[in-house]
A = this chain, B = another copy of it.
Amino acid sequence: MKPIQVGLLGIGTVGSGTFNVLTRNQEEIRRRAGRGIEITMVADLNVERAREIVGDRARVVADAREIIANPEIDIVIELIGGYGIARALVLEAINAGKHVVTANKALLAVHGTEIFAAASAKGVMVAFEAAVAGGIPIIKALREGLTANQVQWVAGIINGTTNFILSEMRDKGLDFDVVLKEAQRLGYAEADPTFDIEGVDAAHKATLMSALAFGIPVQFDKAHVEGITKLAAADIRYAEQLGYRIKLLGIAKRRDDVGGIELRVHPTLVPAKRLIANVEGAMNAVMVQGDAVGTTLYYGKGAGSEPTASAVIADLVDITRLHTADPDHRVPHLAFQADELRDTPVLSIDQVRTAFYLRLRVADQKGVLSSITSILAASDISIDAVLQRESNEGEHQTDVIILTHETQEGAMRAALAQMQALPTVLAPIVSLRKEELA
């Protein structure tokens, strides 16, 4: 089956990330999707820059309508943003029978009803995983993963700029204005940051989540929106003393007592012990509370070139699997198509690489630590940290704790055998593996 052809409208930060990831991982993506996926046309007003990014791997045009008019193109990715030309082009693409993938939360939160109706009428998908929380598959979780539940509420840190600013205000005790300037300097806030800091961007996303969670139309105009511009360092400090952190949350909540839905964005005190209170910097996280599943949480990068591209491409794969591949290739049992599994070997434990924690019960005498560390050195295992307990009086033995850097398990096992044989090592050595998970 020949690759599905995709047209890309707008090749800025997310567009170039999408092109690059799709090119870099094309083989892996094909094995998952059951069919190759290629961006064969790109439309951007800046034709020169677009050509620099795509080289000769895609045709670059200035006029997006050339893509929409091309019968070879099955899917159009809209990454232009805003309500104006983006709305017109999305509707034209739908009417031309193209599936649409978009990261445009503003467009969908305001014009979603019109756009989804047009798509349903034409039997095409408008997919928008990238519109909320970047690379976190939260749309999929709400739309497919939690379908058993009456959702009770959704609450998320869904704007990285404001979460970065709030984290910095708390860490450094600084006021909003000072941190905003710093965030702009570092590229975490735009030159005109209004949509972020006034909560509008978060409200677009919360609006989409409210529709997904509760089966209501998108109604951005009904959202209550407050940003973080009036937040004082003093309140962050007082909240901390009371055991709370302040986060800008987008919240959608079912209120069965009055038969309505709350839809609101505002700075919120959250208990410091909650995982979501510990989501720092530009990261995003969304909590979903369902009547069957209880509380779930989804965490990851909410913006940036490749994290957002990850969501755009997941939508391309979904559309390819569900609408353009044969039914047998829809969603394969093991994520990759059955005829695309590989026999990549599972390594034996000796070949595994990890860092280690070692606890040695040793005689409290001179030279003990040196004999241990020289065994490690001879095995090319480097030491990250040592913790030596002072021995209790009259005890004559003590614990030595060693953290190592990453090493091969086989090497560690050999070194452990040597250390265990030392007369000054008085008990079986405890060894545990350590992972930084970074």
Contacts and interface: CB of A to CB of B under 8 A. Distances in A.
Nearest to A254: B344
A238 interface: yes
A33 interface: yes
Nearest to A274: B437
Interface in A111-165: 112, 116-117, 119-120, 123, 125-126, 129, 135-137, 140-150, 155
Interface residues of A, number: 138
A322 to B, nearest CB: 6
A85 interface: no
B297 A234 contact: no
Contact of A267 (B28, B346, B349, B432): B432
B435 A216 contact: no
A25 B292 CA distance: 9
Contact of A146 (B17, B263, B301, B310): B310
Interface in A385-438: 385, 387, 399, 401, 403, 430, 432-438
A340 B21 contact: no
Given A344-B259, A346-B216, A359-B238, A338 B140 contact: no
A369 interface: no
Copies of this chain, count:
2
28 contacts: A22-B148, A25-B150, A25-B291, A25-B292, A31-B215, A112-B334, A116-B334, A120-B338, A135-B296, A137-B140, A137-B141, A144-B314, A144-B335, A147-B314, A148-B311, A213-B335, A215-B334, A215-B340, A218-B334, A238-B359, A238-B399, A260-B351, A262-B346, A263-B346, A269-B357, A269-B433, A292-B306, A294-B307
Interface of A: 17, 21-22, 24-25, 28-29, 31-33, 112, 116-117, 119-120, 123, 125-126, 129, 135-137, 140-150, 155, 210-219, 222-224, 232, 234-235, 238-239, 241-242, 244, 246, 249, 251, 255, 258-264, 266-271, 274-276, 278-279, 287, 290-301, 306-307, 309-314, 317-318, 322, 327-328, 330-336, 338, 340-347, 349, 351-353, 357, 359, 385, 387, 399, 401, 403, 430, 432-438
